[in-house]
Amino acid sequence: MALGSLLPELRPGGSGRVPLIERVARWAAEKPDAPAWTFVDYSLDPAGAHLTLDWAEADRRARAMAVRLRQAAEPGDRAALLLPQTLDYMMTMLGAMYSHVVAVPLFSPDLPGHADRLIGAYTDAEPAVIVTTRNALPHVEKFLADHPVPRPREIVFAEEVDPALADTWTDEPIGFDDLAYLQYTSGSTRRPAGVEITHGNVAANAIQLWSGWAPEKPDPELVSWLPLFHDMGLIATMALPLVFGDHAIYTDPVSFIMNPMRWLELISSRENRNVYTAGPNFAYEYAASMATPEKLAKLDLSGLVTCLNGAEPIRTSTLTTFADAFASVGLRPGAQAPGYGLAEATVFVTAAAEDVPPKIISADRDALTQGRLELCGADAERASTLVSCGRPIGQIVAIVDPETRREQPDGAVGEIWVHGPNTAPGYWRNSERSQDTFGGELAEPGGLPAGPWMKTGDYGVLHEGELYVTGRIKDLIIVDGRNHYPQDIEVTAQEAHAAVRPDYVAAFAVDGGETERLVVVAERNRRVPLGRLDLAEVESAVRGAVNVEHEMGVAEFVLIEPGGVSRTSSGKIARAATRQRYLDGALPTTAARLAARK
């Protein structure tokens, strides 16, 4: 049985079918002095300099940017945002949405670890204009000089746009189906794909997410450090405040990485007691690892209503670790809200935000890999734990057999399909892949829409009205005719030896002739000194654990240096990219590091 339905305001003729950008002017008129966005700049002040735009000034600056963009580009042209995460970034996004210039939210080329993604996305979008800052210009110029990428017609400096230009802007009609921006997916080894996000998609998903987050609390505020070039960060920080004219406080990802407690301190410092936030698995674990008694003494998280965990599959250990670390400073058991989403659905699909502790079930691992959900005790020998990602809001989720295109009953594993006003129309200039992903048609729709359905590429199962994500279809490992979910093997490997860095393990299959061969790549835990490391002992422990837990052999185990496992922009393990680097012999192995020291 499928989950969800469309919200009344998102149906044709509903109040929600208004481009979200038009609400900027509404809030500027209704509450001009109310804070809209606050950027916390730790480069100006180690304690955080709070730079705030009220709604009147935000609307004025967005319209000025619209004028400036139209001086450099035509409607439908693309504008690449190659600038740091500041208030200028937000105003550029809004200005592009006003101007009918299609925004391409990217980042300054000096951001480490994302060079290939930037080259691929920028090249695919073919932007007519680059928006950057004077400080970032040398990095932009080097990027253009070092790579065979399209040259823009003009480079616009965001901080130099004259706000007085707003007076010359004349509003233009904005259609619900007009293209707003291109959201480039994290990708793995193939060229990044630009998801076409329309003004209607943005409006629908923002309303859906607020509805899922239960915003009946008065004057809610959002706190975030998530990158604005990523779908979760962009929708949470840009779109959510526009729905009801609320306040968003954000900083940049580097500030979070340098000190994750800044995130929680921003939440704790809010005078308003209704605060929302979001992050991937690793962020919650990282923050919990830094929770010393001295740092906890500065926190009060009793005002945190919901913290959405948007990584999938979500680890139960993450939920427990974060809850245990911050319960003493007011974190409620029901504040953690596991969810599920992807760029092709704008971002949000489901969330378990009902002010109750996250729901966790135990399932027989063998039955699960055979396509059935069979509950078992948590201490059962072959138990796998699954975390509920809740229910969809304003959209429909169905579990479908990808071969027969028939909806599956509750308890049967299949591909997660999504239908709703938040699903994108396609990929930029890629009709074949668009049809494959966004053109799903049910063979026997029954009471459901026949199509179009967006095929997520994820396996999942419905149980008691909630969605459980079991893994990526493309990552499934098949050895000797048996299916294995890589995340199960990764957990086993990381728990096998202290020298394996938790949550930095990638398990994948390589061609082995008659059957696939399992390869496990794991980062070395820095807490185990190189001088005391016994590679043979670590390998033996991992091989033995995988053999016992999963009844399969590890064809090759590779321990590599910290930072060597590829990750997506949201911090998830990029197994395909790690696999390709393994095949290319490009992984920084610990064995090579030890040999170099001799």
Q: Do residues 76 and 139 both lie within one domain?
A: yes
Q: Do residues 385 and 424 both lie within one domain?
A: yes
384 domain-assigned: yes
**pLDDT score of 570:** 64
Residue that is last in its domain, among 158, 173, 188: 173
Residue 430: give its domain's CATH number.
2.30.38.10
Phi, psi at residue 275, to the nearest 5°?
-115, 140
Q: Do residues 526 and 442 both lie within one domain?
A: no
Beta strands in 33-178 (DSSP E): 35-41, 49-54, 78-81, 102-105, 129-132, 154-157
Q: Which range marks the domain in which residue 137 is found?
A: 47-173
Run means of pLDDT, 10 residues per run, the chain, 598 residues: 75 67 96 98 96 98 98 98 97 98 97 85 97 98 96 98 97 95 73 92 94 78 95 94 95 95 94 88 92 95 93 81 96 94 95 90 92 94 91 95 96 97 96 95 94 95 95 83 85 92 90 83 90 91 90 91 81 84 90 81
**pLDDT score of 308:** 94
226 domain-assigned: no
Report the C-alpha gap between 567 and 326 in whole angstroms: 27
Q: Do residues 510 and 461 both lie within one domain?
A: no
Q: Is 328 helix (H, G, I), strand (E, B) or coil?
A: helix
CA–CA–CA angle 358, 359, 360 (5° rounding): 115
Report the C-alpha gap between 104 and 82 in whole angstroms: 9
The distance from CA 543 to its chain's CA centroid, rounded to whole angstroms, is 32
State the pairing for strand pair 383-387/49-54: unpaired
Q: Is 559 helix (H, G, I), strand (E, B) or coil?
A: strand
31 domain-assigned: no
CB atoms near residue 447 (< 10 Å): 6
Q: Do residues 139 and 66 both lie within one domain?
A: yes
Q: Is 276 helix (H, G, I), strand (E, B) or coil?
A: strand
Q: Do residues 92 and 148 both lie within one domain?
A: yes
Residue that is last in its domain, among 421, 451, 473: 473
Residue 167: give its domain's CATH number.
3.40.50.980
CB atoms near residue 110 (< 10 Å): 15
Beta strands in 393-534 (DSSP E): 396-401, 406-407, 414-419, 454-463, 466-472, 477-479, 482-484, 500-511, 516-524
323 domain-assigned: no
Q: Do residues 77 and 160 both lie within one domain?
A: yes
CA dihedral 192→105→123→174, nearest 10 degrees, is 100
Q: Do residues 500 and 404 both lie within one domain?
A: no
518 domain-assigned: yes
Residue 522: give its domain's CATH number.
3.30.300.30
Report the C-alpha gap between 397 and 392 in whole angstroms: 7
Closest CA to 237 of 431, 439, 89, 51: 89
What does the DSSP assignment read for 109-131?
A: TTSTT-HHHHHHHHHHH--SEEE
pTM here is 0.89
The distance from CA 462 to its chain's CA centroid, rounded to whole angstroms, is 22
- Write out the two tokens for 381: 């020998």
CA distances from 446 to 438, 456, 463 (A): 20, 21, 20
Q: Do residues 67 and 150 both lie within one domain?
A: yes
Number of domains in the chain: 3
Residue that is last in its domain, among 473, 507, 541: 473
486 domain-assigned: yes
H/E run at residue 309? strand 304-309
Q: Do residues 505 and 442 both lie within one domain?
A: no
Residue 562 C-beta-side C-alpha neighbours within 13 Å: 9
The distance from CA 67 to its chain's CA centroid, rounded to whole angstroms, is 31
Closest CA to 40 of 205, 221, 266: 266
* DSSP-assigned beta bridge partners for residue 250: 39, 224
**pLDDT score of 594:** 83
155 domain-assigned: yes
Q: Do residues 466 and 526 both lie within one domain?
A: no
What tens digit of pLDDT does each residue of 516-560 get?
Answer: 889 999 999 998 888 888 999 999 999 998 988 888 899 999 999
CB 492 within 8 A of CB 546: yes
> In sequence order, which residues have a C-beta less than 8 Å from that of residue 265 and are 6 or more positions away?
298, 299
- Write out the two tokens for 537: 């002992």
40 domain-assigned: no
Q: Do residues 132 and 163 both lie within one domain?
A: yes
End-to-end CA distance of the chain: 62
**pLDDT score of 381:** 85
